[in-house]
Amino acid sequence: MSKYSASTVFTYFIYISSTLFEQHMSQLMAAF
């Protein structure tokens, strides 16, 4: 059970990171 929850948290973290990264990249592109 703890393995499952850790995996879920990790997946969620990856999702948030990629979303923030995408936002940052689009802001970067808009700057140029």
pLDDT at residue 15, rounded to an integer: 96
CA angle 12, 10, 8 (to 5 degrees): 70
pLDDT at residue 22, rounded to an integer: 93
pLDDT at residue 1, rounded to an integer: 60
Tens of pLDDT, residue by residue over 1-32, are 677 798 999 999 999 999 999 999 888 888 87
pTM check: above 0.85: no
pLDDT at residue 3, rounded to an integer: 76
Give the Cα separation of 25 and 6 in Å (integer): 28
The full set of domain ranges for the chain reads 1-32
pLDDT at residue 29, rounded to an integer: 86
Give the Cα separation of 1 and 15 in Å (integer): 21
